[in-house]
Amino acid sequence: MIRFAAVQDVAEIHAMVRELAAYERAAAEAKATPEQLRQALFGAHPAAYSLMAEDDDTGEVVGFALWFPRFSTWTGTRGMHLEDLYVRPHARGGGHGKALLAALADICLRHGYERFEWWVLTWNEPAIGFYRALGAELLDDWTVCRLSGDALEGLARLASAAGPGSGATDV
């Protein structure tokens, strides 16, 4: 069964985020706390949304999907970015991942979203094969760029250096 996450699911979502990070060889990078996830998903201004996958027989939570809206200036339309899709190893192959993605595709269409996008690690061949089988197009022409830490702070200092009234610090 697929359902929307409730605030009571935050601990389970947090645990699965950590499991996913370990699977993706990035356990040390999973720093979000349960409270940060609670605020992001259920605070006054949610930054993201989540679906839960439950085993139909046992009711056990076996997976989740976390997404947020996005906007394309090229098409002038909204879309969805899937941040995390995870199904616990013992439940893989049971249709839970496909059911989560199908539910998200349905949400996209009901909200008028024209794009449903996500990232996948280049070494994650099982996921890539799964996504291709669903009809997903893998974009070879795009590379993910990220600023964080010192690089983010250094670039932000350029706005401060521009001085008051320059517009850069008025945002």
**Shared domain check, 98 and 40:** yes
Please name the residues in contact with 12: beta carbons below 8 A apart, sequence gap of 6 or more.
52, 61, 64
Whether residue 125 sits in one domain with residue 160: no
Is residue 86 annotated as part of the catalytic site, yes or no? no
Same domain, 22 and 97: yes
User: Using CA atoms, how far apart are residues 40 and 57, in angstroms rounded to an integer?
Assistant: 30
Per-residue pLDDT of the chain (171 residues; tens, 9 = 90+): 999 999 999 999 999 999 999 999 999 999 999 999 999 999 999 999 999 999 999 999 999 999 999 999 999 999 999 999 999 999 999 999 999 999 999 999 999 999 999 999 999 999 999 999 999 999 999 888 989 899 999 999 998 776 666 655 555
Torsions phi, psi for 48 (to 5 deg): -155, 170
Q: What is the pLDDT of residue 39?
A: 98
* Same domain flag for 64 and 121: yes
CA distance between the termini of the chain: 43
Identify the sign of the CA torsion 80, 28, 93, 8. Answer: negative
Q: Which of 49, 86, 113, 131 is catalytic?
A: 131
SS (HEC) of 112-160:
CCCEEEECCCCCCHHHHHHHHHCCCCCCCCCCCCCCCHHHHHHHHHHHH
Give yes or no: residues 131 and 159 share one domain: no
Q: Based on the domain organization, do 128 and 161 belong to the same domain?
A: no
Say if residue 127 is in the same domain as residue 146.
no
Provide the pLDDT for residue 143: 86
Query: 163 lies in which domain range?
Result: 141-171
Residue 88 and residue 8 share a domain: yes
Total domains in the chain come to: 2
β-strand partners of 78: 71
Statement to judge: residues 102 and 73 lie in one domain: yes
- Residues 105, 50 share a domain: yes
- pLDDT for the residue numbered 9: 99
